[in-house]
């Protein structure tokens, strides 16, 4: 008769320490947001009127009007952390896989931690001006600028306006919603040679892309609202997508192999049954007795 699992065994089975590491990283990210930004000199356009007169003008690339956010941060967070879990829970209810819920939420947490870490470090180091910098910082339009003085009247607005690169909305969207696409592709084994191609598989393929299309729309709104340059959006999207891919690969088998696609690595290790053939499923697999 096997001994009852200890508290340490239960923590290991829950992968609690891995969750803790991710949450510590996320907590550290919030601390980074209070660090000193790299302060760039405010760009200026120099107009030489004559040999003795010089006029300084605002840079038109950061002189756009700040638009109302189509996707405010709180809405983005709701989308990022309700849509993927709800889709996962629905699939897990329909066809349960051993350890899948634990490892899906761990993957989501790790992807978030990695994305936010890279994004916030980059924001602090880059200190890039947003397209609506002057509007956000409350630039004093009543004063003739000498090209040197900082005419911003809103300190908090100025700090926010210096965080353009990379786009946090874009990185957050792709770290969660592109992750959901990877999960759906793996779950349905759409990238494996063993699955026949047909109308159903085509529908499942396009359905799996819907979360990524949603992430793309969220990212593009940041340019439409004059909160980010397109290069900020591209960089944020790449950061989020790479983070999602790394986190998914860390916890799940290859999506290109039918026997491992959509199955957590630990499930593959613990199952006493042979790897399934094309008609078999890990949903009924049992863990190896301890």
Summarize pLDDT for 259-275 with one digit per residue, the tens. 888 888 888 887 755 55
Backbone phi, then psi, for 58, in 5-degree steps?
A: -75, 150
Which residues neighbour 173 within 8 Å (Cβ) at sequence distance 6 or greater? Answer: 76, 79, 80, 214, 215, 216, 218, 219, 237, 240
25: in domain: yes
Whether residue 286 has pLDDT greater than 60:
no
Prior bond to 166 cis, omega within 30? yes
Whether residue 290 has pLDDT greater than 50:
no
Which of 69, 75, 84, 70 minimizes the C-alpha distance to 175?
84
279: in domain: no
2: in domain: no
272: in domain: no
Q: Say whether 240 sits in a helix, a strand or coil.
A: helix
Q: What is the pLDDT of residue 288?
A: 46
Mean pLDDT across the stretch 178-187? 97
Which of 230, 208, 211, 212 minimizes the C-alpha distance to 221?
230
Whether residue 163 has pLDDT greater than 80:
yes
1: in domain: no
More confident residue, 192 or 245: 245
Total number of domains in the chain: 1
- Which residue range forms the structural domain that includes residue 59? 18-266
CA distance 41 to 150: 9
9: in domain: no
Q: What is the pLDDT of residue 24?
A: 92
286: in domain: no
171: in domain: yes
Predicted TM-score (pTM) of the model is: 0.88
Whether residue 23 has pLDDT greater than 60:
yes
């Amino acid at each position: 008769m096997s001994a009852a699992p200890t508290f340490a065994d239960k923590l290991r089975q829950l992968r609690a320490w891995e969750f803790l590491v991710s949450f510590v990283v996320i907590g550290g990210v919030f601390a980074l947001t209070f660090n000193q930004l790299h302060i760039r000199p405010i760009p200026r356009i120099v107009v030489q009127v004559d040999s003795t007169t010089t006029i300084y003008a605002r840079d038109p690339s950061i002189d756009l009007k700040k638009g109302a956010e189509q996707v405010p941060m709180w809405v983005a967070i709701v989308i990022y952390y309700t849509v993927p879990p709800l889709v996962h829970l629905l699939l897990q209810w329909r066809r349960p896989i051993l350890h899948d819920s634990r490892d899906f939420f761990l993957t989501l947490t790790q992807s978030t931690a990695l994305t936010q870490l890279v994004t916030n470090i980059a924001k602090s180091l880059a200190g890039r001006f947003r397209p609506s910098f002057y509007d956000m910082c409350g630039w004093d339009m009543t004063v003739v600028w000498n090209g040197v003085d900082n005419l911003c009247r809103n300190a908090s607005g100025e700090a926010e306006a210096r965080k353009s690169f990379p786009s946090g909305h874009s990185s957050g969207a792709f770290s969660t919603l592109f992750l959901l696409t990877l999960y759906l592709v793996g779950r349905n084994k759409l990238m494996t040679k063993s699955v026949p191609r047909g109308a159903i598989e085509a529908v499942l393929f396009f359905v799996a892309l819907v979360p990524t299309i949603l992430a793309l729309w969220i990212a593009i709104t940041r340019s439409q609202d004059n909160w980010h340059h397109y290069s900020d959006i591209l960089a944020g999207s790449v950061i989020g997508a790479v983070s999602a891919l790394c986190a998914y690969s860390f916890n799940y088998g290859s999506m290109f192999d039918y026997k491992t696609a959509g199955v957590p690595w630990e499930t593959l290790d613990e199952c006493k049954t042979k790897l399934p053939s094309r008609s078999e499923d890990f949903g009924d697999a049992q863990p190896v007795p301890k």
